[in-house]
Amino acid sequence: MISFNKEQIYIVTGASSGIGEGVALLLNELGATVVGIARNEERLNSMKAKCKYPENMYIEIKDLAEDIDGLPQYVKDLKNKYGKFSGMAYCAGISDIQPLQLLTYPEIDYLFKVNFFAPLFITKGLLDRRNNIGKGTSIVAISSIEAYLNDRGMSKYASSKSALISAYKCMAAEVAQSGIRVNTISPSDIKTPMTMCEAAQSLREHREEKYPMGFGEVSDVANMAIFLLSNSSKWITRQDYIIDCGVM
Amino acid sequence: MKKEEFLLALEDVLQMEDPLTEDQILTELDEWDSLSKMAVMAYYKKNFGIAINLNDLKDIQSVQDLIEIAGDNISD
């Protein structure tokens, strides 16, 4: 049985909804201290209201895309506030289905900030040995099955997620000797507010029929993230895990 | 670049908890590992336009040795 203790402090980004919320709540339930980060204070508070141990759940309101270069310092500030981190689940991300005709540079730039540059630079801060506990530190980021499917309309989203997987594998190689692990998870359609919104659904008609076990649930991904953060996966690093009930 | 500035920058490159001094023997530090060496090489290339090769690196024992390699780029 996987369990944590309150001295183990984890950052969870995107903690106010979807997969990030699921990971934050489960980590907290299993005994870890969680610093949940998101943009929306109200939704962060409603996440916190659902958690099992509110005394071990902290929230931070932050738009991670607004000052990418400042993110390593932001992590250092959080370390000074909460203590050295045992790891992070990077779950913040945005999805945008856009065929080539509609692509514009400012929009792809923004999406890359949220999906790629922010995780890269917040991870840079967390992998600074002054900010983590060293051996046993584990980082996991949520990528997407689109990194493999490369569907129509997905050029910007899929490429941001592919880039994330590559960067994480390089970083994993850089810190493996220190006993620090870095992995990614690539889920397919999971029922979250982001994927179930009307705009996303209109482009995904009959999509659920593809899945022999139906759409995935947040807990399907959160459990994997918890496993990768825990000591149970202590010999697993530099991997990407597809969670798609076997469709791919 | 002033020497003090360089020492602070090197502290960050090596991710040191404690301040670095000029007479610090690098080979005695846990932080002086292969990745840190790669980072120092990249730092010299980017900031000083100096390419440190692997042979040079073998001869580097102390912070003072690093300062010498930088030549005029680091001043008192």
Domain boundaries, chain A: 9-243
Q: Which CATH superfamily is domain A9-243 in?
A: NAD(P)-binding Rossmann-like Domain (3.40.50.720)
Q: Residue A178: CA atoms inside 13 Å, Cβ hemisphere, count?
A: 24
Residue B21 touches partner A, C-beta closer than 8 Å:
no
State how far residue A27 is from chain B, nearest Cα, in angstroms.
29
Give the 3-state secondary structure of residue A172: helix
Show me where the domains of chain B are located.
Answer: 3-73
Q: B18: nearest CA in chain A? A: A130
Place of tokens 């980590």: A27
The three-state (H, E, C) secondary structure of B3-44, written as one string: HHHHHHHHHHHCCCCCCCCCCCEHHHCCCCCHHHHHHHHHHH
**Residues A242, A166, A80, A228, CA torsion sign:** positive
- Minimal CA–CA distance to B5: which of B13, B41, A75? B13
- The pLDDT of A21-49, averaged and rounded, is 98
- Write down the pLDDT at residue A198: 61
Q: List pLDDT tens digits, range B42-76.
A: 999 999 999 998 888 888 999 999 999 999 999 98
Phi, psi of B16 (to 5 degrees): -85, 135
Q: For residue A111, what are its two tokens?
A: 């999406």
Query: Domain B3-73's class?
Result: mainly alpha
Q: B36: nearest CA in chain A? A: A174
Q: List pLDDT tens digits, range A219-244.
A: 999 999 999 999 999 999 999 999 99
CB contacts of A128 in chain B (<8 Å) are 15
Q: List pLDDT tens digits, range A102-159.
A: 899 999 999 999 999 999 999 999 999 999 999 999 999 999 999 999 988 999 999 9
Q: List pLDDT tens digits, range A183-213.
A: 999 999 888 877 776 656 666 667 778 889 9
Give the 3-state secondary structure of residue A11: strand
| Minimum-distance CB partner of A128 among B15, B33, B35 | B15
| Full-model pTM | 0.92
